[in-house]
Structure 1
Amino acid sequence: MSKQTAPKDSKAGVQAIIKEHHPAAVYVHCAAHCLNLTLVNSSKILPIGPAFTLVSRIITLLRGSAKRSDAFCENIRKLQPEASKTAIPKMSDTRWVERHDAVLTFIQLKPSIEATLEDISNWPGESCASDCCAYLASMMRSEFLIALMSMKHLLGATKATSIALQGPPLELPQSMDHIRNLRHLFQQWRDGEGNGRYEKVHSDAAKLGDIRIEGRRGRPPVASSAYDHFRQTVYLPFLDFVLMDLKERFVGAASSCAQVCKLLPRWISEKDAQEEDFDDLVQLYEGILPDGDFPSEFEVWKNMWRFPLYTDTPETFTAALRVCHKATMPVIFTLLQIGASLPVTVCTAERSFSSMKLLKSYLRSNMKEDRLSNLALIYIHKDVEINVEEVIDRFAAKNRRLNFV
């Protein structure tokens, strides 16, 4: 059961109903949603939030009319004819992978964006001319440039993890590995290699404009140099918040399922798992586990990987099930099955809801349930090849007024 499909309150809602009928059901966070929520919350801190808002408003303005879009494309052809992009994708509120693409495109096309905003501000009678002047002034600010490049580097690191967490074949241990690696990378940026990464952020921002301390009334600079000032006021707070939020959201999910993960061969060897580590797990699933002697089975299972007979050590529950003999180790086999069934993400299920607005259009308002289900399956499983000739033959074989055969 995923946290994103049930209310947070464990005493009411869908979670309580499922727990009432199936007390052994495990409450697991959706990993992809948790990562997205971390990025959503990080975009609300200063000055990252204003930078996100400014980028979003400029994109909305340029995409708001055909006249502005044409002016933007014309400036791209004049100033950046070698650019691979001719438009900026909209910053989605839910798909944060697309936000990374939008930020990268915004940085790539920044000269054309500035030229377009300047042109629009000079158009007579243009309602958004004053907005364009304000946007141009904000884009020149050093704080915005540092925040923009910080977003680029951090979102670039999270993009691969976000895509991986949305994949259906991913299992819980793999998802925890992805998050653990991401936290370790950000911690390196923060501690050991943080200065080197920030040097890259600062140098990239300096290529977009002049980086200097811009004084504000009541907000004195925290350092004498612009390099140290923006590192302490923009880069480090952004990184610290992401690290803290990742720890809060994923450490609890990892601990709730850590016991079943310890049955994996790599965990047995790394953590030196003992029989006592699984007492709570065996007690939780006591009602559904088959008859067997878990202590004896665990000793056999542990000894298998102390002197491995297989060249590759299984790192997932699915791979471990292939080498676990159900007849000789029924309890271990059942626990591995439970581990393989623990949900990682609900993105695959939510895609079916997203496809409804494309399939159930006003032209198909009288469509019956069978046809809607079939169209949804075709839309979702695009990788399945369809034999067109066979479809035509089956369609023609039905009793119809026209003779197709």
Structure 2
Amino acid sequence: MSGAYNGVQKRVKDIQPNAEYVHCASHNLNLVINDAVRGSVEIQKFFATIPDLFNFFGNSIKRWDLLSKFTGESEITLKKLNPTRWSSRVDSITAVKLRFFDIVKALSEITLKSSSKDERSEAEIIKSKMLNFEFVFLCEFMRSVLNNINYVSKVLQKRDIVLDEATKALDGTTDKLKKYRNDFESFKSKATETAKKYNIDPTFPEKRRRKTKKHFDELASDHRFENREEWFRVTIFNDVLDIVIGQLDARFSGMSAICKSFDFLIPKNLLSWNETVLVKKCDQFHKKYCDIIGPTFSMQFLNVYHLILPQLTETWSIRQLCKEIITKFGVLECDLTEVYTAMLLFHTIPVTSAAAERSFSKLKIIKNYLRNSIRQDRLRHLSLIAIENEAASNLDLSEIIDEFAKIKARKRL
């Protein structure tokens, strides 16, 4: 899709050079999470322990029943970690954090009472990984990071999301994650409180530090951290945040650049800019899209600017601004077609393909193994009914049956 030489992006731009390419924001965000998870060996071990927990209890009805006795009828229980499902990781970590004590009790009972040596050994290994301060810290830290990213993911999955709303949500998350770099002690205090509750030593366990051999032509000496906590903060805590922040900036820079082309539509800018700056921005926009935006765009938008300015506030979104311009001032009736084209162009730039993904998911439910030989026309009609189920539920079936009977009635002359 995004190939610079043979992708769909390149083929579309060969036909229309001004066509803007925006990678699906939801999929891009999931790639950010995947890169963060693979960034450090310790993080990989942490995320490997969570599916091990689910597999250990999930592969045995007896073990799952034992865990259910401790968790009760709560909906919060172990979740399967699926890398391609956008909310999978945060749901898995949340379940482990909130059911930590219940999971440890179930593992302890298995190690004491199980008759299987392999089962006891596996339970003991998983338990030892959990009863570790680093695991508790990562539960607290990664849950906060993934919760922030998951919030943006939910926003990006909205059907009517537009470019400026997506950019604003991403910028807010990036700023919040940047502040986390100074919150190591805050995360440590939360993890310490949790560790004391479960009788876990609230210190980072010291491990033998490997000394790197210095070669004769190297100027820098081997840096040695004073303790495990300092090593953890630099190589894991800061490293994860740097990867996530860097990936958010790199992967969504194109979206920000496109949004910047339409910055004359942002209400906050309209309130702070003077006419000279506004005309300059409109002229730049006209030069970029000269094949669809006429030379009178600056003059037309300036007229709209004077009309809308008295009631304009910073809390308005671009969507609300465009709605006010169209409904109250009638850009089409007032011959402000260039302004209307610019607003239409902004709202037709796609942000995400999550709606299409939902269609594919629904298609998988419709075409199951019992309908393997279904024809294309029937599949298309069933898919339409399933996807547009709200509209289908409002249809009067009696009228449809009567109309169908009239069409199919065999009339004799």
Normalising TM by the smaller chain, what interval?
0.7 to 0.9
Which residue does 1:88 correspond to in 2? 78
The percentage of aligned residue pairs carrying the same residue is: 24
Instruction: Give the paired residue count.
Output: 384
Deviation digits for residues 9-63 of structure 1 (CA, Å, limit 9, x no counterpart): 2221211221222222101122222222111111112222211111122112221
Distance 1:343 1:180 in 2: 18
Distance 2:36 2:195 in 1: 20
Which residue does 1:36 correspond to in 2? 30
Q: Larger Rg: 1 or 2?
A: 2
Output the amino acid matched with 1:203: E
Indicate conservation of the 8 Å contact 1:264/1:317, yes or no: no
SS of 1:211's equivalent in the other structure is coil
Output the amino acid matched with 1:154: V
Output the amino acid matched with 1:16: K
Which of 300, 319, 327 pairs up with 1:297? 300
Indicate conservation of the 8 Å contact 1:259/1:278, yes or no: no
Indicate conservation of the 8 Å contact 2:32/2:244, yes or no: yes
Q: CA shift at 1:267, angstroms?
A: 2.7
Output the amino acid matched with 1:22: Q
**Aligned CA distance change for structure 1 residues 268 and 75 (closer, same or farther; 3 Å):** same
Pairs within 5 Å for 1:195-214:
195-196=185-186, 198-208=188-198, 209-214=200-205
Q: CA shift at 1:147, angstroms?
A: 1.1
Pairs within 5 Å for 1:4-403:
6-7=1-2, 9-46=3-40, 47-77=42-72, 84-85=74-75, 87-121=77-111, 123-125=114-116, 127-191=118-182, 195-196=185-186, 198-208=188-198, 209-218=200-209, 222-224=225-227, 226=229, 230-270=232-272, 273-289=277-293, 291=294, 293-305=296-308, 307-309=309-311, 314-317=316-319, 319-324=321-326, 325-326=331-332, 327-384=334-391, 386-387=393-394, 390-391=396-397, 394-395=400-401, 398=404
Indicate conservation of the 8 Å contact 2:133/2:203, yes or no: yes
SS of 1:262's equivalent in the other structure is helix
> What are the ranges of 5 or more consecutive residues in structure 1 without an aligned counterpart?
1-5, 78-82, 401-405
Indicate conservation of the 8 Å contact 2:304/2:325, yes or no: no
**Aligned CA distance change for structure 1 residues 158 and 207 (closer, same or farther; 3 Å):** farther
Deviation digits for residues 95-138 of structure 1 (CA, Å, limit 9, x no counterpart): 23232122111112222222333444453346554332221111
**Aligned CA distance change for structure 1 residues 87 and 395 (closer, same or farther; 3 Å):** farther
Deviation digits for residues 216-240 of structure 1 (CA, Å, limit 9, x no counterpart): 22259834585x5644443333223
Q: CA RMSD in A?
A: 3.0
Q: CA shift at 1:180, angstroms?
A: 1.0
Deviation digits for residues 314-372 of structure 1 (CA, Å, limit 9, x no counterpart): 41246414414133322121111100111111111111112222110121223333432
> What are the ranges of 5 or more consecutive residues in structure 2 without an aligned counterpart?
212-223, 407-413
Between 31-40 and 228-237, the greater mean CA deviation after superposition: 228-237
Output the amino acid matched with 2:63: R
Distance 2:226 2:194 in 1: 21
Between 148-157 and 365-374, the greater mean CA deviation after superposition: 365-374
Which residue does 1:403 correspond to in 2? none
Output the amino acid matched with 2:367: K
Distance 1:125 1:118 in 2: 14
Q: CA shift at 1:186, angstroms?
A: 1.7
**Aligned CA distance change for structure 1 residues 349 and 381 (closer, same or farther; 3 Å):** same
SS of 2:204's equivalent in the other structure is coil
Distance 2:192 2:384 in 1: 48
Output the amino acid matched with 1:320: C
**Aligned CA distance change for structure 1 residues 84 and 264 (closer, same or farther; 3 Å):** same
**Aligned CA distance change for structure 1 residues 124 and 71 (closer, same or farther; 3 Å):** same
* Structure 1 runs of 4+ with >6 Å offset: none
